[in-house]
Amino acid sequence: MTTYPVAAVKVSHDVLGVLADRGEAGVTEVAAALDVPKSTAHDHLRTLERVGSVVNESGRYRLSMQHLHFGKIARNNNELFVRGRDEALSLSAAVGDRKYVQLVTEENGRCAVVLATRWQRENLPSQATRIYPTHVPLHTNAPGKAILASMNSGDVERILGGQGLKRRTPATITDEDELLLELDCIREEGYATDDGELIAGMAGVAAPIVTDADVHGAIAVYSASEEFEADRDDSPVVDMVRDAADEIQANLIFAHD
């Protein structure tokens, strides 16, 4: 069981998670979701309100725009975003309106999406009813697997051992031996794929972005599954993704020369 140096901070974090999942919630709902006393939920919500993290509207709490401010600061200070944004936008223009481009890095053993083009609710397929998941386990998607394949074996073992292989869809890889074999294929081919492993009905291709011993992240293209060729090796998107990854890699190298 995971322990935390300041347990109360974890509770506040979980409160924010409930609000993020539900959009808004009252004290009773938060308490029930976290299995804590109503007084505990109330104290955390009131404290979060006073520091500006949540907004209280007639007893219903929601996240404040402060989180958007913090997120933009974190993104704008991320080197992969700074050095890869233009290439990602160029790739987005090249692949067309029916595909989405993502820049993804790794944070605390999970994917962190720093850029996702055209991922507006009105453009999503019917099965994707929420915004793009931005913090998910690495094994559940193409950019995450590309990142894992570029890490040393010790880091891979640490991440998989700490998080396990949780299932998101029926297609998600949950067997460690199967995943390790796929990581070997990704290293050989230079790209990773996702066939409905993160979101049912969506497919993706990703290439890692690595300089020397540093794994910066990956760039990916996603779309509805029927938009991709059945054989990824025959898809021009694969070469476009790998070329974009090479360009971002060069940007990162030259930035430090």
Whether the CB-CB separation of 82 and 74 falls below 8 Å is answered with: no
Q: What number is the average pLDDT over the span 80-88?
A: 96
Q: Where are the domains of the chain?
A: 7-64, 70-255
Cβ partners under 8 Å of residue 257, min gap 6: none
pLDDT tens per residue across span 133-184: 678 999 999 999 999 999 999 999 999 988 889 999 999 999 999 999 999 9
- Give the CATH number of domain 7-64: 1.10.10.10
What's the CA gap between 159 and 116, in Å, rounded? 24
Tokens of 47: 């404290």
- Give the CATH number of domain 70-255: 3.30.450.40
Residue with the bigger pLDDT between 122 and 181: it is 181
pLDDT band, residue 225 (cuts 50/70/90) = confident
pTM: 0.87
pLDDT tens per residue across span 42-76: 999 999 999 999 999 999 999 999 999 999 999 99
* Amino acid in position 195: D
Judged by DSSP in three states, 211 sits in: strand
pLDDT tens per residue across span 87-106: 999 999 999 988 999 999 99
